[in-house]
Amino acid sequence: MGKYVLSILVKNSSGVLSRVCGLFSRRGYNIDSLTVGRTEDPLVSRMTITLKGDEDILEQVKKQLNKLQEVITVINFTPDNSVYRELVLIKVRANCEDRAAINETVKIFRCKIIDLSSDTLTIELTGDESKVSALIKLMEEYGIEELVRTGVTALQRGDSTIKSSLENDEL
């Protein structure tokens, strides 16, 4: 089973997210992560969906997505031609003795402490999935009070854009 990252341009209209998610659930496919946001064009949103499966599942999902009226284009990103990032916020227990060690870890990972209280620190990290997972594993030692991950978001490397890929398909 492979891991796939799909980037999908959709018309920014109500119900489109529900229809895309419904497509997955009706066929029994699981979404590992989903990020959605407007693009530089307020009439268009971009979804980044990660899923696990084989090539047949990937092709079936792409075909079904392309049948939806609101879907403009679907592209499968690969690690060699794209950049993946994820954001995580971690609230970790931090007594006076642990704060220095946590701060050193924060420096090594090039992340930030964005909030602190007398008993906790909140850390922000942006990176690839392995970097995020590594920090989480290290922070478990101190006691994670709360954690939220955005899920993967991605762009193609270099001059390529999802719109240029769309234009090339239309030629």
Instruction: Kindly tell me if the per-residue pLDDT of 168 is higher than 70.
Output: no
| Of 91, 89, 63, 95, residue with least CA distance to 76 | 63
- CA distance linking residue 67 with residue 73, whole number of Å: 10
The answer to whether the 2-77 and 83-153 domains have the same CATH topology is: yes
pLDDT band, very low/low/confident/very high, at 70 (cuts 50, 70, 90):
very high
- DSSP letters for 52-114: EE-HHHHHHHHHHHHHSTTEEEEEEE-TTTEEEEEEEEEEEE--HHHHHHHHHHHHHTT-EEE
Q: Are 81 and 159 in contact, with CB atoms under 8 Å apart?
A: no
Region 83-153: CATH code: 3.30.70.1150
Say what the pLDDT of residue 160 is.
84
Instruction: Kindly tell me if the per-residue pLDDT of 88 is higher than 90.
Output: yes
Query: What does the mean pLDDT of the chain come to?
Result: 92
Fold classified for 2-77: Alpha-Beta Plaits (3.30.70)
Roughly what angle, to the nearest 10 degrees, separates helices 16-26 and 55-67? 140
Instruction: Kindly tell me if the per-residue pLDDT of 166 is higher than 80.
Output: no
Say what the pLDDT of residue 169 is.
55
Instruction: Kindly tell me if the per-residue pLDDT of 60 is higher than 70.
Output: yes
Say what the pLDDT of residue 79 is.
87
Model's pTM, two decimal places? 0.84
Q: What are the domain boundaries of the chain? A: 2-77, 83-153
Say what the pLDDT of residue 165 is.
65
